[in-house]
């Protein structure tokens, strides 16, 4: 067990291994196709709203910008992280808690956003994504004309 | 499957003796590797900047304390709030003999890397067997 986000996965891991074993016994290739490397865990996310944008923040220490794949489709934001395991051969690990591997997080945004103007910044291991709201989703102040 | 937030930040169980600032304190995730001539401690402290990290080595105790400023105003209304932002604090008992003068630290991309070189006496030594 060398993956990140292990704790949550543990019971499912043993279940999966059991299923893999059962399937592999009957139909080896089927097992591989049915059980691709799927989401091993989800990095945490904070989301809040500003007047003109939806803000998403994630703590991704050690992740480089080229290991990130951020995309917006409709009102769904997906963040993919591929952080290869840098474990060295022949090194004794006394602790291994830092997550590595691939993970994907998909979140549905509360409003429509302007996908063309989405900005992402990675600083000191913190990813901040600014998703400007599309024109029709912005709050509009309605002035009430006083009837004379 | 309901939504799982599976890597909850752990609150530090041992707090520094006295804290003058309020707010939460979290326990950073670490990797500790033992190499032939040094102990490598890698800690995730996202949000801190290099000058805000205190690393102390005293009486065989290694202490990491990273100050992390709040990034959002306190009254922010979160739509999704899965982690809190606060300082990182963790202490380790190092049993190995360490050459404390030569400890070095680097910080990049939210990751703190500490090199703790082993003291001469505790380095593995190959003894040639005469034939």
pLDDT tens, position by position, A6-39:
566 666 667 776 766 665 555 444 433 433 333 3
**Is residue B11 less than 8 Å (CB to CB) from chain A?**
no
For residue A97, the model assigns a pLDDT of 85
Q: pLDDT > 90: what percent of chain A?
A: 32
Residues A7, B6: C-beta atoms closer than 8 Å = yes
Least trusted range by pLDDT, from A140-144, B99-103, B122-126:
B122-126
Residues of B in contact with A43 (CB under 8 A): 7
Residue A41 has pLDDT above 80, yes or no: no
| Cβ neighbours for A11, distance < 8 A, ≥ 6 positions apart | none
In the 3-class helix/strand/coil scheme, how is A18-82 assigned residue by residue?
HHHHHHHHHCHHHHHHHCCCCCCCCCCCEEEECCCEEEEEEECCCCCHHHEEEEEECCEEEEEEE
B20 vs A56, more confident: A56
| Interface residue A51 vs chain B (CB under 8 A) | no
A100 conformational bin, left if phi > 0, alpha if psi -120 to 50, beta if neither? beta
Percentage of chain B exceeding pLDDT 70: 82
CB A44 to CB B9 under 8 A? yes
Residue B5 pLDDT greater than 80, yes or no: no
Please state which of the ranges A31-40, B23-32, B111-120 shows the lowest mean pLDDT.
A31-40
CB within 8 Å of B119: residues ≥ 6 apart: B97, B98, B99
Q: Which of the pair, A10 or A116, is modelled with greater confidence? A: A116
Which residue in this structure is represented by tokens 């945004």? A109
pLDDT at B128 over 90: no
pLDDT at A40: 41
The continuous run of DSSP H or E covering A121 comes out as strand A119-123
Nearest by CB to residue A99, choosing from B7, B79, B110, is B7
Tell if the pTM clears 0.80, that is, is over it: no
What is the per-residue pLDDT for A101? 83
φ and ψ of A71, to 5 deg: -145, 150
CA angle A7, B29, B83 (to 5 degrees): 75
- What integer pLDDT is reported at residue A79 of this predicted model? 92
Q: How far apart are CA B38 and CA B107, in angstroms?
A: 18
CA distance linking residue B126 with residue B131, whole number of Å: 15
pLDDT at B12 over 80: no
CATH class assigned to A43-132: mainly beta
What residues of chain B lie within 8 A of the CB of A7, using their CB? Answer: 6-7
**CA dist., res. A136 & res. B76, Å (int):** 23
For residue B3, what is the nearest residue in chain A, using CA coordinates?
A42
User: Are the C-beta atoms of residues B112 and B42 closer than 8 Å to each other?
Assistant: yes
The residue among A62, A43, A42 whose CA lies nearest residue A125 is A62
Under an 8 A CB cutoff, do B6 and A122 touch? no
- Overall average pLDDT of the B54-59 stretch: 90
pLDDT in tens, A44-64: 899 999 989 999 999 999 999
Any A CB within 8 A of B35 CB: yes
Q: What is the pLDDT of residues B70-110, one digit of tens each?
A: 999 988 899 988 889 999 999 998 887 888 889 999 999 99
Number of CB pairs, chain A paired with chain B, less than 8 A apart: 108
Task: Supply the DSSP string of B58-77, one letter for each residue.
Answer: ETTEEEEEE-----S-TT--
Confidence (pLDDT) at A85: 81
Residue B3: predicted pLDDT:
37
Residue B2 CB contacts under 8 Å (≥ 6 apart), including other chains:
none
Question: What is the residue extent of each domain of chain A?
Answer: 9-39, 43-132
The confidence score (pLDDT) of residue A34 equals 38
Which pLDDT belongs to residue B15? 60
Residue A58: predicted pLDDT: 95
Query: Residue A99: its pLDDT value, please?
Result: 83
Residue-wise pLDDT tens digits, A66-85 = 999 999 988 889 999 988 88
Q: Per DSSP, what are the bridge partners of residue B20?
A: none
A34-38, A132-136, B124-128: which is most confident:
A132-136
Confidence (pLDDT) at A20: 61
């Amino acid at each position: 067990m060398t993956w990140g986000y292990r704790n949550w996965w543990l019971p499912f891991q043993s279940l999966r291994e059991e299923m893999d074993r059962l399937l592999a016994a009957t139909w080896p290739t089927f097992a591989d196709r049915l059980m691709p490397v799927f989401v091993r865990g989800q990095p945490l996310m904070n989301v809040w709203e500003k007047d003109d944008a939806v803000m998403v923040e994630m703590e991704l220490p050690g992740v480089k910008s080229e290991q990130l794949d951020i995309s917006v489709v409709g009102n769904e934001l997906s963040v993919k992280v591929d952080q290869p395991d840098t474990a060295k051969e022949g090194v004794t690990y006394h602790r291994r808690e830092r997550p590595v591997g691939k993970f994907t997080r998909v979140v549905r945004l509360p409003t429509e956003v302007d996908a063309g103007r989405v900005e992402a910044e990675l600083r000191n291991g913190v990813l901040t994504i600014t998703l400007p709201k599309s024109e029709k989703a912005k709050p509009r102040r309605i002035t009430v004309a006083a009837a004379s | 499957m309901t939504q799982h937030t599976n890597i909850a930040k752990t609150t530090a169980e041992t707090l520094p003796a006295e804290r003058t600032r309020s707010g939460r304190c979290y326990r950073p995730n670490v990797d500790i590797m033992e190499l032939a001539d040094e102990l490598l401690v890698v800690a995730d402290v996202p949000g801190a900047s290099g000058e805000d990290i205190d690393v102390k080595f005293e009486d065989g105790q290694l202490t990491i304390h990273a100050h992390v400023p709040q990034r959002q105003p306190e009254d922010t209304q979160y739509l999704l709030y899965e982690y809190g932002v606060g300082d990182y604090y963790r202490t380790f008992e190092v049993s190995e003999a360490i050459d404390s003068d030569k400890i070095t630290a680097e910080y990049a991309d939210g990751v703190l890397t500490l090199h703790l070189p082993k003291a001469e006496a505790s380095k593995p030594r190959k003894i040639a067997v005469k034939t």
